Amino acid sequence: MPKRSNAPSKVAQTANNELESTDEESKDSRQSPIDFMLSVLRDPEASTADRKWAAEKAAPYLHPRLQTVEHGGEVTLRHEDALKDLA
């Protein structure tokens, strides 16, 4: 029987099977990536390099970066005028 033109290669089939087994294993653990990183951070026996890696990767999820805000309003009071009013 001739091979179908759109059939995956044997290498691709093997890779897909490995991915499926990895997905099943990760579903069994029921631990999200952020929970894993936090567990590494809290593990006193983890190496400093591992804890640093976990902190670096978890930070964007726990502490979002501040965004630049463009002011679109009109300023009605100047700083210098406010200082004169204080004196």
The string of pLDDT tens digits covering residues 21-58 is 555 555 556 888 899 999 999 999 999 999 999 999 99
pTM of the model: 0.43
Angle (deg, nearest 10), helices 33-42 and 48-62: 130
Q: Report domain extents, the chain.
A: 22-64
d(CA 21, CA 12): 14
Q: Is the pLDDT of residue 70 over 60?
A: yes
Q: Which of 81, 73, 39 is nearest to 57 (CA)?
A: 39
Torsion 14-19-24-28 (CA) sign: positive
Q: Which of 26, 46, 28 is nearest to 37 (CA)?
A: 46
